[in-house]
Amino acid sequence: MKFIYYFNFRTLLALVISQAATFIAVTYDLRFHLDLLLFGICIVFPLHFSMQSAFKRRDRALEYFSLFKGGSMSLYYSFQISEDRHPKKKEATQFLKSMVDQLMQQLEHRISGYNNLQQN
DSSP characters for 61-112? Answer: HHHHHHHHHHHHHHHHHHHHSS-TT-TTHHHHHHHHHHHHHHHHHHHHTT--
**pLDDT band, very low/low/confident/very high, at 20 (cuts 50, 70, 90):** very high
pLDDT given for residue 2 in this prediction: 66
Residue 48 lies in a domain: yes
pLDDT given for residue 95 in this prediction: 83
Contact between 99 and 78 under an 8 Å Cβ cutoff? The reply is no
Interval 24-81: pLDDT, tens: 999 999 887 777 787 778 888 888 899 999 999 999 989 988 998 898 888 888 877 7
Residue 13 lies in a domain: no
Residue 8 lies in a domain: no
Residue 26 lies in a domain: no
Instruction: Return the DSSP state at 4.
Output: G
pLDDT given for residue 3 in this prediction: 65
Interval 77-95: pLDDT, tens: 887 777 666 677 778 778 8
Residue 54 lies in a domain: yes
**Separation between Cα atoms, residue 76 and residue 113, nearest integer Å:** 25
- The total of structural domains in the chain comes to 1
**Separation between Cα atoms, residue 58 and residue 24, nearest integer Å:** 42
pLDDT at 17 over 90: yes
Residue 12 lies in a domain: no
Residue 15 lies in a domain: no
**Separation between Cα atoms, residue 108 and residue 120, nearest integer Å:** 19
Residue 43 lies in a domain: yes
Could you tell me the residue range of the domain that residue 39 belongs to? 33-119
